Amino acid sequence: MDGGNPKNDSTNAIKRREFLIRCAKAGLSVCAAGALSYWFYDPHGPQRGSPKQTAGVRLADFSIPGQKPGMGIARGMDRAQTVRQAMQAVGGIETFVKTGDRVLLKVNAAFASPPALSATTHPQLVAEVTRLCLEAGAVEVIVTDNPINDPASCFALTGIARAAESAGGRVMLPAEPFFRPITLPGARLIRNWPLLFEPFKSVNKLIGLAPVKDHHRSGASMTMKNWYGLLGGRRNIFHQDINTIIMELALMVKPTLVILDGTTSMVTNGPTGGSLSDLKETRTMIVSTDQVAADAYGASLIGKTAGDLPYIGMAAASGAGTADYALLKPVFL
Amino acid sequence: MRTRTARRISQIFFLALFLWFCVTTTLGQAWWQLRGWPVNWLLELDPLVGLATLLTTGTLFAGLLWSLATLVLTVLLGRFFCGWLCPFGSLHQFVGWLGRRRKPAPEKARLNQPSRWQVVKYWILIFLLAVASADLLNRVFAPPRNLPYFLWAVVAGLAVAAFMMSRKASRPAQRMLAVILLTGCVWTVAGVLTGDRQSLSASLLIGLLDPLPLMHRSVNLVLMPMMDEAPIGLAGGARFYAGAWLIGAVFLTAIFLNLRTPRFYCRFVCPLGALFGLLGRHAVWRIGKRDPECTDCHICERNCEGACAPAGVIRTHECVLCLNCLAECRHDLVGYRTTVSATGELALPDVTRRQFVLSALSGLAAAPLLRLDGQLAGNWNPRLVRPPGALAEAEFVGRCIKCGQCMRICPTNVIQPAGWEFGLEGLWTPVLNFRIGTSGCQYKCIACSNICPTAAIRPITLDERLGRNRFAGAGPLRIGSAFVDRGRCLPWAMDTPCIVCQENCPVSPKAITTRTVFSPVATAGELLVADADAQTIRFRSAELPHGRFATGDYYCRIPEDNASGPRRIVKNTDRELTLSAEQPLTRPPAPGARADILIRLQQPYVRPEYCIGCGVCEHECPVRGKRAIRVTAENETRNPDHAMTLK
C-alpha cells in the first residue's frame, strides 16, 4: 500500500543515494541490453548462400623447357635395372633433375594391398627413382598420394612408405589442411575442386609413377589416371564422366617425367586386382616426357589399343600430348 | 617409504599405464603403437571379466588367466585392486579429494560414513552373475532328454531329500546343500517344462558396469577421439563413434558423483568392487584397531575411501585398503594385521536372503526377457554386421564385454558401438557402419580379432579371413552381403555412368560385376539423317548440345540397320556427329533414316558367392546419403542360418 506504515518506512526505506545508485545500475543494464540488441539486430535473416570462394591455386609446369620429347622403353623383370636403362634412353636423370632440386614423386598407393598384387606402384620402383633423384643432386624427394583406402594403411601395406624412407625420401600422407581448391582454365569438371597441394609447395620437379592396370570404367589406369590421386573431396563423382576427367587431369598436370611400370600388368579385375591370376608378366618399363604417349604405348601391354581408350584420343586432341608414340622415336632396350 | 606414498605411486603408475595402453592401441609400427604392448592386460586382470565369461562360456580365454592372480591376491589381502590399481578408482579418488578438500574435518568424516545403500552394488553383482549363469546351470542340471522317467524319479528323490534336510537343518552347511538341491530340482523341472534352451539362456551384461571395460570404452570412444582431431592426433585423423554421447554421459556422471559422495561409483555401483568384497572375506590381513579405546576423533574416517568405518565396527568388505586411516591416526591405533579389529568387524555385506533371491531371480529372468524381442531368433537385425571373426550371435553376446578395444584398433574407424536398436545385449557391442570411417572393413586386416580380450571376435589369421592356403576349401569369411538399390543406383536409376563400387571391390574375382546396356538419350525431336559417311552423320534439323556427346560414353545407332551396333561418338556439333575411327559404320545410313543417341551404361550386379560384405562399395558409393549399394548381415559366415543363396 502506498504510504504504508510510517514505522516501516523509517526502518526499511532506502536512502536517496542508494535509490539513485540502484536506478543508475538498472538504467545501465537497460542501456546495455538495448545496445547489444541493436548491435546484433538482423532484420533480414539468413540469405541464400553463395558458394564459398577461396583463393584457388595453380599447378606449375614441371616439364623441362626446351626438352625434346622422349620415351625410353626397357624390357626386363628387375625394375631397378629397367628404370635406369629407360631413364638413360631419354637422356639420363641428370637431364631432368639438377642439383638442389626438390622432387615430388606421385605414386599410386590407392589400395591397402601388398606389392605382389601390383595394384599400386611397386616399392622397388619408388626406392630406385628416389635414389636416382638423390644421386642426381636432389635435396629432397617427397612421395605422396591421396589413396582410396585408409591412407596410413595404404602406404604401410604397399611397402611404399618403407621403400621411400629407406631410400632417403619423405612420405607425405594427405591431411585435410593439405588440400586447396584449383580451377583448371576452360575445364568443365576441375572447377574449384580440392587438390592435394601441400606437397607441391616446395618442389620444382614432378615425376608420376604408375603401374599398368585394367580399369573397368575407363579401360585402363596408367599415368594420366594416376593424377586422380591428387584430387580430394568427393572425387569419385567424376566417374560419371571418366574420360573427361582423365583428359582434364592430363591438362592440369604437366610433369617432368612419367614412369609407367609394366613389369607385371594387371590384366583383369582392375583396378584392385586381388589375385596373382589377375596379373601378367609384361616385362616393360616406360619412361616418358609425354604422358599421353606413355599411356598409348602402355595400353598395348594389356591387349588394348589407344583407340579403345577414349581418354587418350581426347587428351591428345586437347593438346596434353601425342597418342602416336612413334612420333617420340621411342628407344627400345 | 610410508605405505600411503607407495599406494599413491601405485595408483599413478597404473593409471598412467592404463592411459599408455590406450595410446598404444593404435595400429602401426612406431614404438608407441601396437607392437606387442599388452594393451589388454588391465582388462585381463579383472576377475569379473574372467568369472563372468567362465560362466557364459565354460572356458577361461587365454590372457584372462591373469585374473587368477588378482583373485589370489584379493583372497589373501582384501580389496587391494580398488585402492591400489583400478584406474577408474584412482580417478574417483582424485575427484573425490578435489570435492572435499576445503571442507572441515567433521564434514569429511560425515561424507565417508558407511551408507546402507552400499549394499546395492552386491545386488548388481548378484544380478549380473545370475544373468551370466543360466548356461552353466543348464549344463549342470540339464536333463538327459532320453531318460525322462528315470529323471523324474531322481528329481523327486532329490526334492524329498532337500525337503527333509531343510526341515532338520540346523547347520548352515546342511541348509546350503538343501538350497542347492532345491535349486537343481526347480531348474531341472523348468528345463523339462520349457524344453527349450533359448528360454533359459545366459547373457553377459557385466560390460555395462564393470569399471575396466567401462573405462576402456570411455577413453577409447570418447576421450581419445576428442583428442584425435587435434594436431597431435594419435589415430591419424578425426574419428567418429556413433552414440558416443551416452558413453561419455555415463562416464562423466560417474566421475561427477564423486563431488557429492567420494568414490560414489565404487561404493554403490561397482560390481567388481562387490566381487572383491566377497572374495576378501577370509583375507589374512585386514585393517583394524589395536585397542577399542580411542579418543573418538574420527580422523581416521576423514579420508576413508571405502566408507568402511574404521573407527567403529569396520566393514572389511568395503575397505579398499587406501590406508588413509592407518596413516592419519594420531595414536597409531589402526593397523593392517592378521587380527580382527578390536572394535569388531563385519566380514560380509548385509545382503538379506530376500535381496539375494530377488537379485538372482531377476538376473536369471533377465536374459530370457531380453531375448523375447527375437533378435537372436528370426527377428535378427540385418544391420548388425559384425567384424570378421565374430562368433555366432548367441555366443558373441556371451563374450563381448563392450570394452571398445576393437573399435579403437580398427584402422578405418568402421567398427562402431551399437546403439539401443540392437537391444540391451547389443548396446555398445561392435557393429560396422560403412558410412563412417576412411574405408569399409579393410580387406587385409585382422586387427580387431586379434585384440579382442574375450575372443568374442575370435583370433583369426589372414589366411582364414581370405580363405587362402589351409582355408581355401572353407572360402573367405563373409560378414554380410552387398545389395544394389536399383532405385538409387546411378546407372540403374539415372542413366548415369558410375560403377565406383565395382572399381573398389577388393576381392578377386570381383563380387560386383557389370552388364553393359545402351540406353537412349532424349533429344529435342527425332534425329533424321541428312547425309552421312562411314564416320560422320549430319542431321536435317537438330540442336544437339555442342560437345556433350564427345565424352566417350555416348554412342550412335541406326535402328534400321540392325547389323551395325552402336558406334562411339568422338565429337559432336549441333548438327553433326563424328564417330570413332576404330569402328566406322559398315553401311552409312541413307538420308531420312532415323538415328538414336545412346549412353553406354555399366550396371552393377552383386555376385553373392564372391561378396564378403567388406562394405568398401557402400563406403565409396557417390550417393552419399542413403547409399545405393548397402551391406547387410545376410549370408554372413558366422550365422549359417543367415545364408541367402544355395551353395
Label residue A56 by pLDDT band (50, 70, 90).
confident
Q: How many CB atoms lie within 10 A of CB B123?
A: 20
Q: Is B494's Cβ below 8 Å from some Cβ in A?
A: no
The whole-number average pLDDT for the span A97-112 is: 96
CA A130, A132, A136: angle at the middle one, nearest 5?
115
The predicted pLDDT at position B35 comes to 80
Max mean pLDDT among A44-48, B274-278, B583-587 falls in B274-278
Q: What percent of chain B is predicted at pLDDT more than 90?
A: 71
pLDDT at B95 over 60: yes
d(CA A176, CA B237): 9
- Across chain A, mean pLDDT equals 92
The predicted pLDDT at position A8 comes to 53
The whole-number average pLDDT for the span B543-572 is: 89
More confident residue, A3 or B427: B427
Q: How many CB atoms lie within 10 A of CB B505?
A: 31
pLDDT at B146 over 70: no
Q: Cell triple for residue B524?
A: 529435342
d(CA B429, CA A271): 34
d(CA A53, CA A209): 33
Q: Do domains B384-471 and B481-515+605-642 have the same CATH topology?
A: yes
The predicted pLDDT at position A1 comes to 44
d(CA A289, CA A206): 11
Give which of B84, B18, B368, B48 is closest to B209, Cα–Cα: B48
Test A269 with B551 for CB contact under 8 angstroms.
Answer: no
The whole-number average pLDDT for the span B168-194 is: 71
Domain B481-515+605-642 - what CATH class?
Answer: alpha beta
pLDDT at B143 over 80: no
Contact residues, chain B, for A149 at CB < 8 Å: 412, 438-439, 442, 616
Do residues B647 and B635 lie in contact, with contact meaning Cβ atoms separated by under 8 Å?
Answer: no
Label residue A332 by pLDDT band (50, 70, 90).
confident
Give which of A262, A327, A318, A263 is closest to A289, Cα–Cα: A327
Label residue B156 by pLDDT band (50, 70, 90).
confident
pLDDT at B287 over 60: yes
Domain spanning A71-332: which superfamily?
Answer: LarA, N-terminal domain (3.40.50.11440)
Label residue A4 by pLDDT band (50, 70, 90).
very low
Test B439 with A149 for CB contact under 8 angstroms.
Answer: yes
Q: How many CB atoms lie within 10 A of CB B178?
A: 19
The whole-number average pLDDT for the span B57-76 is: 94
Domain B384-471 - what CATH class?
Answer: alpha beta
Test A272 with B553 for CB contact under 8 angstroms.
Answer: no
Under 8 Å CB-to-CB from B539, ≥6 apart: which residues?
Answer: B527, B528, B529, B530, B575, B576, B577, B595
Tell me how far the alpha carbon of residue A260 is from its chain's centroid. Answer: 18
pLDDT at B144 over 70: no
Q: How many CB atoms lie within 10 A of CB A201?
A: 12
Contact residues, chain A, for B441 at CB < 8 Å: none
Q: What percent of chain A is predicted at pLDDT more than 70?
A: 95
Label residue B168 by pLDDT band (50, 70, 90).
low
A-B C-beta contacts closer than 8 Å: 119
The SS3 of residue B568 is strand
* Element at A195 (helix H, strand E): strand A193-196
Per-domain residue ranges of chain B? 3-124+207-346, 384-471, 481-515+605-642, 516-602
Do residues A320 and A258 lie in contact, with contact meaning Cβ atoms separated by under 8 Å?
Answer: no
d(CA A151, CA A160): 11
Q: How is residue B268 annotated by DSSP? A: I
| Single-letter code of the amino acid located at A114 | P
Q: What are phi and psi of B75, to 5 degrees?
A: -60, -35
The predicted pLDDT at position B395 comes to 92
CA distances from B564 to B207, B527, B572, B583 (A): 68, 18, 20, 10
The whole-number average pLDDT for the span B87-102 is: 95
Test B510 with A272 for CB contact under 8 angstroms.
Answer: yes
Dump the DSSP string for A198-227.
GGGTT-SEEEEEEEEEEETTTEEE-HHHHG
pLDDT at B207 over 90: yes
Helices of type H across B195-339: 211-218, 224-228, 244-256, 264, 271-279, 324-328
The whole-number average pLDDT for the span B201-220 is: 95
The predicted pLDDT at position B147 comes to 65
- Tell me the pLDDT tens digit for each residue of B18-59: 999 999 998 877 788 888 899 999 999 999 999 999 999 989
Label residue B180 by pLDDT band (50, 70, 90).
confident
pLDDT at A6 over 60: no
More confident residue, B138 or B99: B99
The whole-number average pLDDT for the span B412-419 is: 96
Contact residues, chain A, for B552 at CB < 8 Å: 242-244, 310-311, 314
Dump the DSSP string for B283-319.
-SSEEEES-S------GGGTT-TT---TTSSEEGGG-
The whole-number average pLDDT for the span A41-66 is: 85
Per-domain residue ranges of chain A? 12-40, 71-332
The whole-number average pLDDT for the span B504-519 is: 95
d(CA B126, CA B266): 16
- Tell me the pLDDT tens digit for each residue of A261-314: 999 999 999 899 989 999 999 999 999 999 999 999 999 999 999 999 999 999
Contact residues, chain A, for B551 at CB < 8 Å: 241, 243-244, 310, 314
Do residues A132 and A221 lie in contact, with contact meaning Cβ atoms separated by under 8 Å?
Answer: no
The whole-number average pLDDT for the span B362-369 is: 88
d(CA B53, CA A333): 66
The predicted pLDDT at position A22 comes to 94
Rg of the Cα trace of chain B? 34
